[in-house]
């Protein structure tokens, strides 16, 4: 297992004298700073998102960004006259990522200090340093996967889903059914490993242990006779969410042992958080085995513990290293939701009894 400095998932930009030279309120003749489009696109190609926190008139600022053909680069822009710490909190909530994975860039020292005073874990940067971004170690992920290249587009699809949900009248399950979702579970191939490693590094809330596994460790699980490495992908009528879940299972004569279970927070609102767990419980029962699961409490993964408890896991033992081992006799398994089609290595639509 590896530990490393937290990767930046989103860069939040000020506009006046940061993204462009000049103050828009004083003159419409602002000019982009050198290399800005190239830097935005370079980071975007690595799967790093961009947003805006600016004190400006929203309509004027967005019109200027459209003029520069940069308006689609920024997710959930916060352009108004409220405190920038409030803007940052809104962006963090909308993206559903940790505050320590945001980087805020502003030319104004007061604004940086105001944000830092409220959000102690955010990294703030003076705008004079913006050209250093492509070389910044926290902005250089070890792997750039196909999913990471499409990350901004997948968030834009999420916005389409949100708009449709906001306009939908009727029960939540009817809306979920209207998405025509397919949840695909498969055993990982070598081509999946970079994305799986990325998921172990980026996923915190629905993560049973918080462990980060290296490519080599994951490949050893994939090729081991005594392990199962599962990945899952979610697709709906708007497109793919990408690979959004991982499970590592150790098999033995008596137990299946779930060493890692994680699910991307991006799909939490889609009611799919228990599908991979139910599938693994089904597989353990089919093999006549009880299921053990490791759980290491972190400051963010309380929801995963609740997921295990609702699935009837009970505390069994401890390994003495901060890991609680949970146990399930797999006598009761939550069925897959009716509003989603599930495909598995054994065939389509496998259902829990």
> Which of 132, 133, 115 is CA-nearest to residue 124?
115
Please tell me the predicted confidence (pLDDT) of residue 347: 64
Whole-number pLDDT of residue 273 = 82
Q: Which one has a higher pLDDT value, 293 or 98?
A: 293
pLDDT of 191-230, one tens digit each?
999 999 988 887 777 889 988 899 999 999 999 999 999 9
Winning range, highest mean pLDDT, from 146-160, 166-180, 259-273:
166-180
pLDDT in tens, 277-301: 999 999 999 999 999 999 998 888 8
DSSP class of residue 168 equals: -
Q: Answer yes or no: are the C-beta atoms of 183 and 263 closer than 8 Å.
A: no
Q: Quick one: average pLDDT of 71-79?
A: 96
> In 193-266, which residue ranges form alpha helices assigned H by DSSP?
193-202, 215-223
Average pLDDT over residues 97-108: 94
Average pLDDT, stretch 157-182? Answer: 91
Say whether 290 sits in a helix, a strand or coil: strand
- Give the residue from 291, 294, 353 showing the smallest Cα distance to 327: 291
Measured from the Cβ of residue 93, the count of other Cβ atoms closer than 10 Å reads: 11
What's the confidence (pLDDT) of residue 141? 86
Q: Give the residue from 128, 162, 82, 115 showing the smallest Cα distance to 12.
A: 115
| Closest among 228, 208, 209 to 218, alpha carbons compared | 228
Predicted pLDDT of residue 1: 40
Q: Is the sign of the CA dihedral 183, 149, 107, 19 positive or negative?
A: negative
Instruction: Give me the long-range contacts of 282-288 (CB less than 8 A, separation at least 24).
Output: 282/330, 282/333, 282/350, 282/352, 283/228, 283/256, 284/255, 284/256, 284/330, 285/330, 285/333, 287/251, 287/256
Q: What is the pLDDT of residue 144?
A: 84
CA torsion angle for 105, 108, 109, 114 (degrees, to 10)?
A: -80
Length of the chain: 353
Nearest one of 279, 303, 223, 290 to 252, comparing CA atoms? 290
Give all domains of the chain, ordered by start, each with its CATH number. Answer: 10-139 (3.40.50.1000), 146-348 (3.40.630.30)
CA distance 340 to 129: 47
CA distance 128 to 112: 13
225-264 tens-digit pLDDT: 999 999 999 999 999 999 999 999 999 999 999 999 999 8
Cα gap 322→340, rounded to integer Å: 36
């Amino acid at each position: 297992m590896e530990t490393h400095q937290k990767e930046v998932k989103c860069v939040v930009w000020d506009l006046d004298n940061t993204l462009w030279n000049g103050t828009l309120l004083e003159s419409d003749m602002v000019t982009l700073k050198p290399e800005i489009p190239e830097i935005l696109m370079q980071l975007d190609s690595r799967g790093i998102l961009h947003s805006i926190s600016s004190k400006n008139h929203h309509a004027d600022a967005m019109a200027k960004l459209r003029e520069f053909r940069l308006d689609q680069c920024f997710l959930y822009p916060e352009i108004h006259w409220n405190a920038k710490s409030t803007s940052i909190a809104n962006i963090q909530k909308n993206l559903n990522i940790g505050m320590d994975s945001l980087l805020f860039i502003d030319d104004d020292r007061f604004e940086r200090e105001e944000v830092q005073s409220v959000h102690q874990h955010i990294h703030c940067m003076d705008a004079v340093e913006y050209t250093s971004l492509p070389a910044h170690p926290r902005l250089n992920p070890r792997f750039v996967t196909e999913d990471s290249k499409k990350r901004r587009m997948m968030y834009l699809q999420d916005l389409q889903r949100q708009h449709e949900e906001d306009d939908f009248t009727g029960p939540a399950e009817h809306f979920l059914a209207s998405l025509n979702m397919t949840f695909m579970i498969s055993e990982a191939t070598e081509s999946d490993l970079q994305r799986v490693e990325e998921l172990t590094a980026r996923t915190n809330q629905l993560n049973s242990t918080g462990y980060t596994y290296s490519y080599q460790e994951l490949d050893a699980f994939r090729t081991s006779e005594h392990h199962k490495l599962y990945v899952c992908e979610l697709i709906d009528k708007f497109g793919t969410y990408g690979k959004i879940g991982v499970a590592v299972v150790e098999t033995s004569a008596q137990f299946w042992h779930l060493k890692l279970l994680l699910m991307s927070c991006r799909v939490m609102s889609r009611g799919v958080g228990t599908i991979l767990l139910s599938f693994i419980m089904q597989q353990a029962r089919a093999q006549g085995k009880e299921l053990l699961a490791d759980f290491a409490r972190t400051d963010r993964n309380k929801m995963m513990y609740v997921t295990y408890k609702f699935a009837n896991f009970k505390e069994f033992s401890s390994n003495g290293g901060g890991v609680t081992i949970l146990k399930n006799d797999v006598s009761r398994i939550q069925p897959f939701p009716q509003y989603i089609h599930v495909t598995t290595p054994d065939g389509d639509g496998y259902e829990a009894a």
